[in-house]
Amino acid sequence: MHNREHPGGLYHRLVRQLLRPQPQGSPEGSEVCTTHNRGQTTCPPGHLHHPMLQEGHKDHQGHQPPEPLPVHPAIIQKARGRGSLRKNLVSFKPACRSLNRVRVLLMGPAGSGKSSFINSVRSVMFGRVLLLPFIGTATKGFIKKLKSYDIRSERGGKPTALTLCDVLALGDGERTGLTLTDALAVIKGYAPEGHDFQGEAPIKAETPGYRPVPSINDQIHCAVFVLNACQIMYTSDDLTETLRTLQAEIADLDIPQVVLLTHVDQVCHAVQEDVKFVYSSRILQEKMQKAAEVVGLPVSYVLPVKNYSSELSVSYNTDILLLSAVHHILQAVDDTYEENHPPTPADASAEPPSAEFHNKPSNLLIFD
């Protein structure tokens, strides 16, 4: 009636646009890809092959093309590049006017990349890779305390409405890392900033700085599970149980949850060459499916990202992936809190949320 393109057709058209072949110099060992060029174009290993990205079309042998792999929402609609995503973050104001800012808690095992994600987001905003002392590869993780990082628009600039919170790494069970009791104390806002986590001394009323009646702004507004794509297939039963228990407990609190899948460039050669192949890699699709299964969330809640680790400067496509993940997290918070925290009379006089962020389609990754 309104001549609106079917979502499936839109996706296929955009995939053809976004995942065009690399100009010359394709990675060694690549295969011929008939999707992007019917001639001599090659396609990196791990790249998804569709003879024709059109519903109902058969290839020259008469075979129906395979069904598309699960598609992440971040590839459906249009956000106009890195500058737009960055501007959206800077101008963002929570739709729930009781919130002064959005506090996001990152939880994951040692080596998952939660601290590196914080560093990477700050690097995107500053336009250069930051070298900070809390990033490393210690077996048990570097972070031992609750530490909150305000994300600023630029060095010395005004803080955005986003705060990323880091905690002790999760372990295989309650005895080797962040406990369920302490995790929930942080999420509910009881834990003071800078609390030093000690398994034998859980957070309780006697803990110095304990908040007996935390406000909504002391609480965590989104829980993010950070998992390493290199290790996801070998997740232990104990860690899986810890993650699923946390997920179930957090779900009862009506707090949005997502999964960040890091190190995606280390499991697929095509993605290592260029992260724009992240949503067309079969290898990555398998890792995303496994991450969703391990935590107990739908695969659409899994956000693949590449943190800055060995790079000396930021790159456009990596920034797009990081900013899109942040944008998705903020939208999840808005969706949840608008539903569960309707406006109060006091909210009526508060400054309205940013219309630009909430009205602009944000789901297409425009890679370079």
- Decide if 112 is inside a domain: yes
Task: Give the mean model confidence (pLDDT) for residues 53-58.
Answer: 41
pLDDT of the residue at 30: 37
Q: What is the pLDDT of residue 230?
A: 97
Q: How far apart are CA 171 and CA 4, in angstroms?
A: 49
Same domain, 176 and 301: yes
pLDDT-derived band of residue 354, with 50, 70 and 90 as boundaries? low
Claim to verify: residue 7 and residue 108 sit in the same structural domain: no
Boundaries of domain holding 42: 1-68
Nearest Cα to 53, choosing from 39, 29, 71, 41? 71
Instruction: Summarize the confidence of residues 321-334 as an average pLDDT.
Output: 96
User: Is 82 a member of any domain?
Assistant: no
> Is residue 78 in some structural domain?
no
Same domain, 61 and 104: no
Mean pLDDT, residues 162-168: 97
For residues 294 and 199, membership in a common domain is answered with yes
pLDDT digits (tens, 9 = 90+) for 210-264: 999 999 999 999 999 999 999 999 999 999 999 999 999 999 999 999 999 999 9
| pLDDT over 80 (residue 352) | no
Residues 188 and 281 in one domain: yes
Residues 220, 256: Cα–Cα separation, whole Å: 10
Q: What is 323-361 written as a DSSP string?
A: HHHHHHHHHHHHHHHHHHSPPPGGGGGSPPP-HHHHHS-
Please tell me the predicted confidence (pLDDT) of residue 172.
83
Residues 15-39: tens digit of each pLDDT = 334 434 444 444 433 333 333 343 3
* 170-226 residue pLDDT tens: 988 777 899 999 999 999 999 999 999 987 899 999 999 999 999 999 999 999 999
- Among 68, 101, 117, which residue terminates a domain? 68
Question: Do 172 and 23 lie in a common domain?
Answer: no
pLDDT tens digits, one per residue of 289-311: 999 999 999 999 999 999 998 88
Residue 218 resides in a domain? yes
Q: 70 vs 128, 140, 295, CA distance in Å?
A: 33, 34, 17
User: Residue 342, class by beta-carbon neighbours within 10 Å (0-12 exposed, 13-18 middle, 19+ buried)?
Assistant: exposed
Angle at 294 between CA 290 and CA 296, to 5 degrees: 110
Q: Does the residue 79 lie in any domain?
A: no
Return the structure tokens found at 266.
Answer: 């280390």
Residue 144, pLDDT score: 86
Do 16 and 115 fall into the same domain? no
Q: How many other CB atoms are found less than 10 A from the CB of residue 19?
A: 24
* 42: β partners: 32
For residue 45, the one-letter residue type is: P
How confident is the prediction for the chain on average, in pLDDT?
79
CA distance 105 to 246: 12
Counted domains in the chain: 2
- Domain-embedded: residue 80: no
